Structure 1
Amino acid sequence: MLIAGAFAAGELAEPVVPAPHLLAPLLAGLVLALAGLVTREVPRGVNQACQAALGILVGSYLSPVSIQRAGADLLPLALVTAVTIMLSLGAAGVMTRLGHLDRASATLGMVAGGSAAVVATARDLDADGRVVALLQYLRVLIVAGSAPLLVQWILMPSATGRLLDADHELGPVVAAHHQGVGLVMLGAVALAGALIGRAVRLPSPVLLGPMLLTAALTAGGVAEGFAPTGSLRTILFTVIGLDIGLRFTRPALGRVVRLLPLAVTCTVTISAACALLAWLLAGVSHIPLADAYLATTPGGINAVLSTAVSTHADISLISSTQSLRLFTMILLAPLLIRLSARRSPRHAG
């Protein structure tokens, strides 16, 4: 009943809220937890099943074909991705020192991309999921709210069109034409990926194992079409948001609110730096400024792709760059947390 109610809240919030099926369930869970109406969290098994399916979704984003289409612009795009990662780490350091956060929460919170997957792994990496959710969804809110306005009113004022909703799909639950086969493949890859992840001792194996296995299968042309889509993808986001919201307490909420000014400052600074990178990228390559900006925004991939569709931008370039950074960020985040914790033991979670 809770998941169904949170799903409905996300549907109602779609016209006004970015990432509605993450934020609306999170807020609903927060209200229920603070009011004492619900005192239990989402069962761990359900949470891990959603993590595995989410890993498959993220792994399916990395398309070798779209990366090849970037051609000669691939090197500067890769450099921009590397600089964005460094900016995220710098912001995490600021949040650790000035916001008195543990290194794991600060690093996951400031990772620029893959908000749903990052939040889902917070518990496994000993991070405070509530703080991570605040920092991640604050960035999504800023990027999703500013990207369409900047592109349509400033960078491409002649482009007019209604922004499409990339999340509003209530048709098939997997990308395959045969839904039964696709669901069987989804379950098999999720289970095999989680087992492989645990066997090789990956950090957050339930998410990263299926993600890497899906990327390998998709890149090799072995199998495809089993990634969650439509209502199944929406349910995954709903459960993850609800799980974070139900873990809030009144002291935790007060701590999160105190972080807001610093969090907004860091997020806006990263966004402005990425806009500067876009300007530099447009100057040294043949990429139009609007396309470069959409390709380098720090996350908000669904809102960015919706904007790209409505303004007739280079969707292949934008999706490949955003997906590559999303994949890299999620893969590196656990490793970066471990390395930074070893160098700064007093900030370890």
Structure 2
Amino acid sequence: MNTPRTARGRGITCRASRLVAWAAVLPITVVAGELGEPAVPSSHMLIPLLLGLAIALTGRMRDHAPAVLNRTSQVLLGVLMGTYLDLSALGHVAGSIAPLAAVTLVTLLLCQAAAFAMARLSGVDRATATLGMIAGGSAAAVASAEDLDADGRLVAFMQYLRLGFIVASTPVLLSWIPSRPQEGTGTGARGGAGGPWHLVSGHDQVWGLIVLAAVALLGVLLGPRLRLPSPAMMGPMLVSAVLTATGLAGGFAPSGMLRTLLFTMIGLDVGLRFSRRAVRRLRRILPAALACTLAVSAACAAMAWTLSAVTHIPFGDTYLATTPGGINAVLATASSAHANLPLISSVQSLRLFAMAFLAPLLIRLTVHRSRTGGATR
């Protein structure tokens, strides 16, 4: 007969064994991500996701991340996202702020239309379709899926399908467009200084880690009080954005090995949730996901052409600014192409914030409408 004390002891043992298993697997996936970095986009998320999927399908380890690791990754991701808000970059494109804001709004509407089509064509739920089709912030979409009652596996599949398409097609398209000398004050190097063994982006590692801990703690406390969606991620993101925008603090963004571990944990967590049944479902939704991805990408390219004609900004810059790929991949491509980094980082950052805050609200609104509609019928 199991007593409460015995059951509690087994629960502690189970949690400890999961932590040990993750401690053993994480270094392997980190090394695999490093090896794949030259050839694979977002390698520190995509490769752990694929390795986690392979491990899950063997049946040797199939479980989501321990709660402490899952919550920590959401908090750190929120802090990192907040540091993308760069007011100095926005100042460089102040004259074009109205059309840029309009492009951000239209992109949001396009993503909603694609999510509606995805839900109708493939049968996935609206929360999963919305997060899967949302443009920008792929890591945030995947990390917040569980909090928003979405299927993180399908969200990751749709997000990385689009990211792979954008990363593969953008260099080909840019090769057809004449390059020009870089303008502005480059803001594309988001990785921070000091190499992979630094943990934060500033030179003073001790002070940066102290600020990071304070921002994370304050964000975790404020998120639920402000009733933010996905408070573990949105709270730290809001605090980090305020400190970055006002210049009160800097050099605390997760960088180097800490950032690598962050993305590895998110990718591995998603991969380990897969099953053979989930993989079969991916094959069924692939045609719809690919069609929606191509439609959103083509519409964003058309917006880039229109924006270029209206503002007289080179098409290569407007394309990179409006393309629905991940912000890190886009900024890396823009830097190598000598593009207008202040413009591109500004538009991508604005969209990242808009999508991160509005996606949970849109999910709740559409789910509520669908439930009330079903109740009425």
Moved more, 82-91 or 167-176: 167-176
- Asked if the contact 1:77–1:321 (Cα under 8 Å) also holds between the matched residues in 2, the reply is yes
* 1:133 aligned residue: 156
Aligned residue identity for 2:271: G
CA deviations 1:245-280 (Å, max 9, x no partner) are 001111111111211111011001101110000000
Post-superposition shift, 1:145?
1.2
Find the aligned partners of 1:111 and 1:347 in 2 and give their Cα distance.
24
Which residue of 17, 38, 43 corresponds with 2:61?
Answer: 38
CA deviations 1:325-345 (Å, max 9, x no partner) are 011111111011011112212
Find the aligned partners of 1:207 and 1:244 in 2 and give their Cα distance.
17
Moved more, 307-316 or 284-293: 307-316
* 1:154 aligned residue: 176
Aligned residue identity for 1:175: S
- Asked if the contact 2:191–2:201 (Cα under 8 Å) also holds between the matched residues in 1, the reply is no
* 1:78 aligned residue: 101
Post-superposition shift, 1:67?
0.9
* SS of aligned partner of 2:101: helix
- Choose 1 or 2 for highest CA Rg: 2
* SS of aligned partner of 1:150: helix
CA deviations 1:167-197 (Å, max 9, x no partner) are 6951421012210111111112112101110
Which residue of 268, 292, 297 corresponds with 1:266?
Answer: 292
* SS of aligned partner of 1:344: helix
CA deviations 1:72-126 (Å, max 9, x no partner) are 1111111111110000000000111111111110000000000001100001111
Find the aligned partners of 2:244 and 2:46 in 1 and give their Cα distance.
30
Identity %: 53
Q: TM-score, normalised by structure 1?
A: 0.94
Structure 2: runs of 5 or more not aligned: 1-23, 182-187
* 1:174 aligned residue: 200
* 2:249 aligned residue: 223
* SS of aligned partner of 2:238: helix
Which residue of 36, 57, 66 corresponds with 2:89?
Answer: 66
- Asked if the contact 1:299–1:322 (Cα under 8 Å) also holds between the matched residues in 2, the reply is no
The yes-or-no answer on 1:7 pairing with 2:20 is: no
Post-superposition shift, 1:309?
1.4
* 2:12 aligned residue: none
| Change beyond 3 A, Cα 1:271–1:86 | same
- Asked if the contact 1:139–1:267 (Cα under 8 Å) also holds between the matched residues in 2, the reply is yes
Post-superposition shift, 1:286?
2.4
Moved more, 58-67 or 195-204: 195-204
Find the aligned partners of 2:75 and 2:373 in 1 and give their Cα distance.
29
- Describe how 1:233-312 pairs up with structure 2 within 5 A: 233-312=259-338
Find the aligned partners of 1:167 and 1:268 in 2 and give their Cα distance.
30
The number of aligned residues is 344
Which residue of 20, 27, 31 corresponds with 2:50?
Answer: 27
Find the aligned partners of 1:4 and 1:67 in 2 and give their Cα distance.
38
* 1:52 aligned residue: 75
CA deviations 1:282-307 (Å, max 9, x no partner) are 00002111101111101222222122
Post-superposition shift, 1:155?
1.7
Aligned residue identity for 1:174: V
* SS of aligned partner of 2:176: helix
| Change beyond 3 A, Cα 1:69–1:166 | closer
Post-superposition shift, 1:41?
2.3
Aligned residue identity for 1:40: D
- Asked if the contact 1:294–1:304 (Cα under 8 Å) also holds between the matched residues in 2, the reply is yes
Moved more, 197-206 or 276-285: 197-206
* 2:131 aligned residue: 108
* SS of aligned partner of 1:61: coil
Find the aligned partners of 2:310 and 2:34 in 1 and give their Cα distance.
42
Find the aligned partners of 2:65 and 2:216 in 1 and give their Cα distance.
19
| Change beyond 3 A, Cα 1:165–1:59 | closer
- Asked if the contact 1:30–1:247 (Cα under 8 Å) also holds between the matched residues in 2, the reply is yes
User: Once superposed, what is the RMSD of the aligned Cα atoms?
Assistant: 2.0
| Change beyond 3 A, Cα 1:209–1:166 | closer
Find the aligned partners of 1:166 and 1:11 in 2 and give their Cα distance.
17
Find the aligned partners of 1:347 and 1:179 in 2 and give their Cα distance.
54
Find the aligned partners of 2:373 and 2:265 in 1 and give their Cα distance.
30
Find the aligned partners of 1:64 and 1:158 in 2 and give their Cα distance.
25
TM superposition outliers: structure 1 runs of 4+ over 4 Å: 164-169
Aligned residue identity for 2:266: I
Structure 1: runs of 5 or more not aligned: none
Aligned residue identity for 1:122: A
Aligned residue identity for 1:243: D
* 2:362 aligned residue: 336
- Asked if the contact 1:193–1:210 (Cα under 8 Å) also holds between the matched residues in 2, the reply is yes
